Amino acid sequence: MSLYVMKFGGSSVGDTERMKRVAKRIADKQDEGHHCVVVVSAMGDTTDELIDQAKQLNGQPPAREMDMLMTTGEQISVALLSIALHGIGRDAVSYTGWQAGFRTDDTHGRARINEIVPRRVLESLEKNRIVIVAGFQGMTLDGEITTLGRGGSDTTAVALAAAIKADVCEIYTDVDGIYSTDPRIVKSARKLKEISYDEMLELANLGAAVLHPRAVEYAKRHQVKLVVRSSFNTNEGTVVKEEASMEQGVVVSGIAYDKNVARISILGVPDMPGVLAQVFGKLAEEGVDVDIIVQSGVQNKKADFSFTVSLDDMERAKEVIEQMHATLPYSEVTSEDNLVKVSIVGAGMVSHPGVAAQMFEVISKQGVSIKMVSTSEIKVSCVIESGNLQHIIQALHTAYNLDTTEQAFVGGPQDRR
C-alpha cells in the first residue's frame, strides 16, 4: 500500500458541502488501496475573520495571543472533516499540529519547524485509520502554540510527508495544476505536466501563489514527490520533481508577477567601504527582507542605490533608514509603491542567449519603462509600473510560445494558505 499525504486548502473545505466532497475524495483514495494522511487549512475566510475580530479589540494584538487565536480555525476544520469521514463509514482521527509532533522555534506568527515526531500519526496509520492533521501550526518545547506563517499548511504537508516517508504529497487547490502563468488573467495559459524543484521555487518566490516557497524548499531538500491538482475535479495534476523534461521549443516554463512590491532609494550616500553592509545588515536585524538591489554610478564621491521590499515592509524599512541618518549622512530617501515585479522562469534559459533581451523588447513595446532588473541562471525579473500588467503578461506569454488552445480550469476562489 502506498502512503499519500493530501493537503486541502481553505477554499476546498469552505463549507459543509465542500467538506463532504473532500471526505468522499479521501475515501476514494483509501478504496484504491492507499494509506491517507490529510492536512487541512481553516475553512474559507475563517482566518481573515479572526484577524479582523482581533484588530477590532486591539490595533496591535500580541503575537502570542494571535497564534492562540489563529490555530482555532484549523482545529475546527480537522474535527469537522473527521466527523464527515465517520459519517460515510470511515475510521478517521484528527490531530492538532502539536499532537502530530510538530516542534517549532518560538517565533510567533512565522515559526520554523525544528523537528517532527510523528509517533501518533504512525500509530494511527498502523490501525488503518485516516489521519487528519491541522496545517499551519506547531508547538515549542516549552509548550507554546505557534503558527508557521503564510503558506504554513503547504509546509506542514510537505514536512510531514518527509517525516513519515510518504510516497506522494498531493496539494489540492482551486486550479488543476501548475500553469505557465496565472490562468485567471491569461486564458491561454498552459498546464505543465511536470516542473523542476528549482523552477517551481523561483516561480513561488516570484509571486506564483499555487505553492509556497518554504514548502518547495522542504520538498527539494527531502526529495518529496509533489503533485499539484484540483479538489474540484479528477484531472491529472502537475508533478514537481528534481529534473523535469523540457518541452520542445519551450525555453521559458512560466511567467510570474508580484504586486506586493515597493522600491526605496537612498540618494547621496558616501562612497566608502562598508556602507551597503551597514544598511542591509540593519534592515536584516529588523526583519526586513530585501529583494533586488541596484547601485548607480558614483559622482563627487556620492552614490545612489535602490532596493525593493514588500509593501508591508516599506514604512518599516524607511523608518530604519531614517534612524541611521546620524551615522549614514545621505541626502534623501524616496519610495515608490505603484510597482509590480514581472518575471520569466525556465531551465532552458541557460543555453539560449537573448531571452532577457526579448523580454525587455516585449515590455518596451507596451510603452512601459523598466526600473530595475534582476537575473539568475533560470530567471529574469523586471520591476515596472503596475498600470499595464495584464497586457504585458499576455504579450510575454505569446512571445515565449506558451499559448495553448486548451481551457484552463479554475474551480474556486484563490487559496493562498
Q: What is the pLDDT of residues 227-286, one digit of tens each?
A: 999 888 888 899 998 876 666 557 899 999 999 999 999 999 888 888 889 999 999 998
Residue 143 in marked binding region:
no
DSSP 3-state assignment of 39?
A: strand
* Residue 263 neighbours by CB distance under 10 Å: 22
Domain that holds residue 95: 2-173
| Within-domain flag for 280 | yes
Q: Residue 144: which residues within 8 A CB-CB, separation 6 or more?
A: 64, 67, 106, 108
Tell me: do 30 and 141 sit in the same domain. Answer: yes
Residue 47 in marked binding region:
yes
| Rounded distance between C-alpha atoms, residue 84 and residue 80, angstroms | 6
Q: What is the pLDDT of residues 205-237, one digit of tens each?
A: 887 778 888 999 999 999 999 999 988 888 889
| Within-domain flag for 350 | no
Edge-to-edge strands, sheet with 379-385 = 293-299, 302-309, 254-270, 332-345, 379-385, 370-376
Q: How confident is the model at residue 409 (pLDDT cuts 50, 70, 90)?
A: low
Tell me: do 11 and 122 sit in the same domain. Answer: yes
**How buried is residue 370: exposed, middle or buried, by Cβ count under 10 Å (0-12/13-18/19+)?**
middle
Tell me: do 156 and 31 sit in the same domain. Answer: yes
Residue 295 sits in a domain whose CATH number is 3.30.2130.10
* Domain end residue (candidates: 141, 156, 173): 173
Tell me: do 163 and 281 sit in the same domain. Answer: no
| Rounded distance between C-alpha atoms, residue 11 and residue 171, angstroms | 13
188 neighbors 405 (Cβ within 8 angstroms): yes
Q: Does the structure show a pLDDT above 50 at 204?
A: yes
Residue 174 in marked binding region:
yes
Closest CA to 263 of 309, 231, 305, 229: 309
DSSP 3-state assignment of 19?
A: helix
Burial 264-301 (b: 16+ CB within 10 A, else e): bbbeebeeeeebeeebeebbeeeebebbbebeeeeeee
Residue 16 in marked binding region:
no
| Within-domain flag for 183 | no
Tell me: do 7 and 124 sit in the same domain. Answer: yes
Tell me: do 35 and 142 sit in the same domain. Answer: yes
Residue 156 sits in a domain whose CATH number is 3.40.1160.10
Residue 9 in marked binding region:
yes
Tell me: do 28 and 152 sit in the same domain. Answer: yes
* Domain end residue (candidates: 278, 305, 335): 335
| Within-domain flag for 329 | yes
| Within-domain flag for 86 | yes
| Rounded distance between C-alpha atoms, residue 400 and residue 115, angstroms | 42
Beta bridge partners of 115: 103
Q: What is the pLDDT of residues 6-58, one digit of tens each?
A: 999 988 899 999 999 999 999 999 999 999 999 999 998 899 999 999 999 99
Length of the chain: 417
| Rounded distance between C-alpha atoms, residue 191 and residue 311, angstroms | 30
Query: Which H or E element spans position 222?
Result: helix 213-222
* Domain end residue (candidates: 173, 206, 223): 173
Q: What is the pLDDT of residues 77-119, one digit of tens each?
A: 999 999 999 999 999 999 999 999 999 999 999 999 999 999 9
Q: What is the pTM for the complete model shown?
A: 0.84
User: Among 65-69, 396-400, 411-415, where is mean pLDDT lowest?
Assistant: 411-415
Count of the separate structural domains present in the chain: 2
Residue 313 in marked binding region:
no
Residue 229 in marked binding region:
no
Tell me: do 156 and 294 sit in the same domain. Answer: no
Q: Specify the pLDDT at position 413.
A: 45
